[in-house]
Every structure is written in C-alpha cells, then in structure tokens.
Structure 1
C-alpha cells in the first residue's frame, strides 16, 4: 500500500523549527512512518523552478494538506495572497484532506492572517496549540483518526469491544424490561413475549454466542456501569456568573447507565433555569414555558453521552452559566464532518453505533444525523440565539440563555400571582438551608404532609425552592433552600 503524502505548510519564517521537528517526528515514528511521508519546502533541493510553482505542484501531489497558522500572514504576491493561502486554496479546491492547526489567539496576529483563519475555520475543523508538544499531540490524534476512518488501520470500536470482565449477572433485568416497554411505547417495536435478557442482548448485537458482553451492553443495561468504566459519568455544575469560578452553588456528579445519566443531567439543567408561569385567564390550567427548550437540552446531553470517547479519562461536563449552557464531551467529530455541517442535514457518523441504536429504539434520539439540526431549530423557535458547535480538543455545544435581567423580570412578574400565602411564609423563613423539622418549627406547624403539599411542593414547582440533595429526595440529611429565583422574589417582595 503506497504511503499517504503530507504537505506541511506555514509561512516561511514562523514555525520553522516546529516544522522541522514535526517532519522528523513523522519520519521517525514507528507507526506513522509506515503510513505517511511528509514534505516540507526546506527539504526540497534547489532548482531553477519558481518557488510558487514548486509548492503548488507539491500540494497537487499530496494526499493531505497540513496547515500551521499563527501570527504572520507572510509575503504577498500581486494578487495580495501569501504562499500559505495559495496552498490552502488549491488544497481545498482539489478536495484534499485538510488538517489545520492554529496557534491560540494572540494580540500580535496580523489583520490579514485573522481574516484568512476565519475563512479556513468556516471550511474545516481546526485544532489549536500553544507549543510544539501540543502541536505534535494534536497531529498524532488527527492522523490516527484519519487512518481509522479511511480503514487503513482498523480497530474495533469501543462500544463493540468485549475486553471487559462482565457477565450476564452484571446486567439488570429490570433495566431490560424498562427498555422493552419504552421501545414499544416510543417506536412500536415488537419483541416476543417474555424475551430473556440474553436473547434481547443477542438480538441487539450486545452479546455474542459465547456469552461475552460488549462494552455497550454494560453502559446501557449494567447494574453498576462505573464499576467497569469509571469515567462514564456526567459532571453537572452551576455558576453564578459567566466564568468558571468559585463559589459553585451546585455541583452534582451523576453515575448510572446511559438512560439514567441523560435523565439526571437534563433534570439538573431544567430545574435551575427560569420558568415563565402564566395565568388562568384563558384556560383552567396554568401555562408554563421554561427559559430553555427542554428537548434541545436533552438532545445535546444525549449526543454528548452517546458520541463521547469512552477511552478518555475525562467525563461529560454540563455547565450552566448566567448567560449560557455548555455541554462538553471528550470526543472528536468524524474526520469528514465539520462543525459548519452540523447546522444542516448531514450523514450520520455515530462514534458508538451499538449505543446509538438502543437509544434510537427507546426514543432518546431521533433519526440519525438530525440531532444537531433539531437543537438549532428548537432554540430559534424558542427565541434564542443560534447554538454554537465547537471542536477544540473536546466537542462543545453552547446553548444561549435569555438575557438574565429580562428572564428574571419576566419570571418574577408572572410567578407573583401564583405564590400562595403558605409559599410566601415558607420563603420568608428560608434564610438558610433548613430540614423538614426545622421548617415545621419555624412555621409553627405540626403536620408534615401539610407542609409538603401546601408549602414545599408548590414552592419547588415554581422553582423558588430546591433540595440540597436532589439525587436522594428521601435522604435523612435532606434540606431545602431558596433558588436564585427564590432569592430574587424574596428581595423584591
């Protein structure tokens, strides 16, 4: 099999040492050198041909264009184009595979280089770096992904691997039953009566005839998935401002199977955003509208959990800021898919197809390739800015919240007439987190069911009060506290 030729490009002076180091690394690496042969202009022998003719001919002969962009735009020809931009334009025109690495934002970056980089970012996925070591690691990752997706170096996908030590005893029969019911309800899938866990897993290609379980089987239906895959968790955080900084008002690390992780993480977000509550002027029921579209939030979380890289030690992170929701997953977009293509219909490239199919069967995800487009559509319909999809090491989805002042004012205005005297009394005593017993004493009440039905539950429904430990509602250490919305309401009233 002929080696793939890599054209390494950058301006003539900037990154000269890094280019040489990268060339040597690709030539000497025992694995990459079997599949790739790099080219740098400095290695080309002196000839009578013009410089521009040489490097453009080399681009034509190459399979991969590897661009390294930084601060300097470089020498410009009569058309005002640098050698680097000419190379990239030709590579893109000829549909070469383009790997782009950009030095992180610098105040020294020339204006024309900024414009060039913006053009490139609209065409292809790029990686960023600060130093040579980061550049080398990013190139290695990109080339490994290239080999796998071009099937030049085949590996068994993580979800199909059976290198775990789990047995059928590690699978929850109750979870299997719940999945069957969901599949019938959501997708009208028919399973034979009383199908066994073994038969179902075999039917879904999650177990082979020898009884070996795939990793996907454990993540979907395992009693304790984190026993085998410790990083298969979701870390949820809420911040007061727009930056990651302490104090952190709420931090939850959720564990469980994939279905549980999706439900828990979605609930974390939806219980901490503003809720518009209308009046009974037009109907007997009270209309409500959350600040963020629940289906878009759920879809983004499902995608992160389903398509993440489970070989990574990092976990999925859900971070709620004052002005936005960010959902990070340790994973990479497929080589041929760019972030710009996520805004429109595209082919499905599931990183974990054995995980994706059961999620689709049970209604957790819709048709393949529609998830990101659905997120965009739902957010725009909700009156929000267009979501942002980014690939820089990890994959990140940003869903923008409404302007905080507007959302708080609207929510406070609408919730006022829904607050009963009992709820108002509860809010007045919750200066700090309190237990049921402490609240009963403060309100001079004796009957616990009355406290729950007339005071606490209505306050929680209005998102004015929350549990300190929502993951364990019946915990003996459970307390109740004002939400940010509750604090605002108390201050106004």
Structure 2
C-alpha cells in the first residue's frame, strides 16, 4: 500500500534505519540501496530528503523514473519496486525479494543498520547459508529464450549420454531434471544447452594459453572456448592434447602412443574446475601450459566447510544441480574420488602427483611435465618419482635447517632444479604440515615444523 502524506512525515520523523533511506538528490548509488533492500526485508527510499531529515524536495522527470525502473529490471534477478510522488518527495518502495540474493552490476549489497554494504566473497557464502538460499546453478535465467537460444543437437546428445528417453516433450524432460521452473531455464541448464555461453554468462568460458618457457612473459598461442559445457570441456582437453608432447613406445609389436601426461588426469582436472568453480566470481577457468608444467585454475577456493586435508577424502560440490547433471552424463562421481584418480593416473605414469593450491579466490591443480629426452616412460620405471621427490625434499629441508633465511632462488641454484620446481616442493611440504613460512616472502624465514633444535 502506497504511503500517504502523514505516513511520510511519520517516517521522516523516525529517521533513517534498516528499512528507510533518505536521498537529497538522485544518483547512481540508488541501485545499491534498492539491491540492499531487496536482499533484506524490503524498504523505502525517500528522494528529496536530506540525511538530517529535512525536506529539500526533488524535481522528477520521466527519465529519472525510467532509470529507477531500469535498475529493478536489470538487477539479477529482476526485482519489484513501486514509485509514487508525495508532495515534493519521490517515494521508491522496494519489495523484499522472493528470489534472493539480488545483485546489481555483478555486486551484492545488504543492509547493515542504516547503511548498504557490499558483500565480500566469504560474506556472500554466509549470506547463502543463513538465508537458506539457492546457489548459482539453481537460479532462473530470465534472458535465455528456450526456443531461439536452446541447442537441440546438444540436448539430443545429452539425452543419449544420460540414457534419457526422448518420448516426453522437451519442457517435461527439463522439468523432471529440475532444470526448468515457470518456463525459465536455470543457470545449470543454460550452461549445458546454450549455443554460446557468453550471450548469458560472460565468465563461464575456458581460456587456454600456451606460454614460451616457464613464465607468462611470452604467449605463443591462446584460445577461448565459449560454447556449451560439454563442448568447452572437450575443446579444452583437445587443446591440451595438441600442445603437449607425445611419446612413442615400442615393445616388439605395434608402437604405443602416450601423451606426456595421463589423459585421464587432465580430463579429471578440467571437469573438477567446471563442476566446482564459483560462478558468482567474474573470472573464467584458465588452462596454462608452460614448458615445465600445466596449471588448471578455477575461480573459487575450497567450498565452505572443507579444508585442504579433506581433498581426496570428501566431496562437497559447490553447484549441486550442475554436479548432478554431470554425474548423469558419466563425467563425475559423488564419492570424492576425483583427486585420488588423478594421483593414481600420475603414479601409473611414474610421475609426481599433481600439486593442489587453494586460496580465498582460486583453486589450482599443477601437473609437472616430464623432460622426455631425459625422462622417457621406460626410463622413469628405473627410478620411481617417489624416491626422486623424497631425495629433493630431504635436500631442501637440510638446506633450510642450515639457513632458515634461504631464498627459493638460492635453493634452486644449490639443488640444481628450477625455481618453479622448488616452489612445487615447498608447496607440498607446507601442505603436509612439515614446513611453514614465518613473515612475508621478503624478510621472512622458514621453520621446519617439529624441529626444536
């Protein structure tokens, strides 16, 4: 119900609060306030009132009112507002959202007392938990047109992969899968069945880059894949396959071709990035190929409630609906064995296990590439990677014990491996709890855990 003049005076007398905001003039910040109210329990914006509650009045125009309605329509998802004029004041009534959380320009806002605050990543996670809200893959995508944007060929392939009978109508199948609601496709369905993902989700691409050497100084080749989920997965793997070396093994019969890194481990890492990435973050999956390693990185660290020690033991999907569809397609499993399968594949290849790195915003899997001229598959069988790793680790710990201030460059020079190789072993030691860094990279020192000498 729209407020009358007496209600407005009463509101102004109460002062700004959780459900009330004063604005002396119109500005772009109104989008933040509208979003915050929708994520809370609704509220009112009074335009033409100073922070102190003094009525200044405001000159309205059709253009101004159109901009306010545009904010509501263009929020993600769209939200509901009503605008009314009360004397010299413009009242914007924002309704509590029924499809939280809402964002404007990719940012989330909530009310914090009398202020509207932007949520940080961890706060968004808590917001989801506390409100019992749906995840990204469950959100309805109002921009996707089921007739013109839906890829029927990709959908047909999906039905074959999942052994789903095509007898039912498309809408009924999608509803039964939990991908369609109120005739709108959810984001999980958009990822799976779009013709071009960047038309709806700019950050859902996969970028593959081939660098010269061991750093990012010079790019030799770059591709970005922006199709449906399965096509992007296959294209990213094909790119990796085309840029990595192939070894030919002859054992008295037809020669055997072996990619320098196990295909199953690379596929698993790409799928892990697709299934577990945080789609709310404005970044995409990155596959980087260096001369000595392959890095596969996805936005979003470990899911809330999961620690580094849980890797390989627990499965905690960030995107439950999407993960379920990928499981139906036979791409992933629910038992949390993906990392174990990667480790096993690398061991069968007689290579070191991949290194996992995680921080607040990123998760990276690093595969160390073998030097085939010196480390052929047959040659690696004579010296196990575990023994080589143990020897290198012992050297590193010995040098750190002698000089806790030693740098990565000094370690690399003394041991005779690259700085990236040193970083690889240091990360492993830190993850195992055997080593910790005290202080910053420059000016800090190493401490061997449990070494009291």
TM-score range, shorter chain: 0.5 to 0.7
Instruction: Tell me the residue number matched to 2:374.
Output: 406
User: Partners in 2 of 1:368 and 1:199 — Cα distance?
Assistant: 29
> How many angstroms does 1:381 deviate by?
1.9
Does residue 380 in structure 1 map to residue 347 in structure 2? Answer: yes
> TM-score scaled by structure 2?
0.54
Gaps of 5+ in 1: 1-29, 35-136, 185-190, 412-493
- Relative to 1, partners in 2 of residues 1:340 and 1:404: Cα closer, same or farther, differing over 3 Å? farther
The secondary structure found in structure 2 opposite 1:236 is: strand
Of 201, 212, 216, which aligns to 1:229? 201
1:144-199 deviation line (CA, Å, top 9, x unaligned): 42453xx3233321110014321211211111110111223xxxxxx334333212
Q: Structure 1-normalised TM-score? A: 0.50
What is the DSSP-based 3-state SS (H/G/I as helix, E as strand, rest coil) of the residue aligned with 1:276?
strand
The reply to whether residue 341 of structure 1 matches residue 319 of structure 2 is: no
Deviation (angstroms), 1:405: 4.2
Query: In structure 2, the residue corresponding to 1:313 is in which secondary structure?
Result: coil
Question: 1:282 and 2:252 equivalent?
Answer: yes
Distance, in Å, in 2 between the alignment partners of 1:200 and 1:292 is: 39
CA distance in 1, matches of 2:290, 2:303: 29
Relative to structure 1, is the Cα distance of residues 139 and 374 closer, same or farther in structure 2, using a 3 angstrom cutoff? farther
Instruction: For 1:61-100, list aligned pairs within 5 A.
Output: none
Residue 219 of structure 2 is aligned to residue 251 of structure 1: no
Match of residue 90 from structure 2: none
Q: Call closer, same or farther: CA 1:409–1:250 in 2, change over 3 Å.
A: farther
- Shift of the 386–373 alpha-carbon distance from structure 1 to 2, 3 Å rule, reads same
Change (3 A) 1:181 1:340: same
Instruction: Please state if 1:272 is matched with 2:246.
Output: no
Tell me the equivalent position of 1:200: 173
Q: Distance in 1 between matches of 2:355 and 2:157?
A: 34
Is the 2:297–2:362 contact (alpha carbons within 8 Å) kept by the matching residues of 1? yes
The offset of 1:326, in angstroms, is 0.4
Distance 2:118 2:294 in 1: 27
Cα distance change of structure 1 residues 138 and 293 upon mapping to structure 2, 3 Å threshold: farther
Aligned to 2:150: 171
SS at match of 1:262: helix
* Residues 322 and 404, structure 1, Cα contact 8 Å, conserved in 2: no
Residue segments in structure 2 that go unaligned for 5+ positions in a row:
1-35, 41-116, 380-453
Q: Higher RCO, 1 or 2 (CA under 8 Å, sep at least 6)?
A: 1
- Which residue does the alignment assign to 1:352? 319
1:152 aligns with 2:130: yes
The answer to whether the Cα contact below 8 Å between 1:173 and 1:197 also exists between their aligned partners in 2 is: no
SS of 2:207's partner is strand
| CA shift digits 1:415-450 (9 cap, x unpaired) | xxxxxxxxxxxxxxxxxxxxxxxxxxxxxxxxxxxx
Q: Deviations over 1:111-143 (max 9, x none)?
A: xxxxxxxxxxxxxxxxxxxxxxxxxx9994334
| 1:142 is aligned to 2:122 | yes
1:303 to 2:283 alignment: no
Q: Distance in 1 between matches of 2:377 and 2:342?
A: 26
Give, in whole Å, the separation in 2 of the partners of 1:262 and 1:407: 29
The answer on whether the counterparts of 2:197 and 2:205 sit within 8 Å (CA) in structure 1 is no
Higher helix proportion (structure 1 or 2): 1
- Structure 1 position 395 matched with structure 2 position 374: no
Local SS of the residue matching 1:249: strand
Could you say what the CA RMSD is over the residues aligned between the two structures, in angstroms? 2.7
Using the alignment, how far apart are the partners of 2:357 and 2:269 within structure 1?
Answer: 13
CA contact under 8 A between 2:350 and 2:377: conserved in structure 1? no
Q: CA deviation at 1:316?
A: 0.6
Contact between 2:349 and 2:377, CA under 8 Å: does it hold in 1?
no
Kindly state the Cα deviation for residue 379 of structure 1 after the two structures are TM-superposed. Answer: 1.3
Give the aligned partner of residue 371 of structure 1: 338
Contact 2:159 2:166 in 1 (8 A): no
Q: CA deviation at 1:339?
A: 1.9
Distance 1:203 1:323, change over 3 A: same
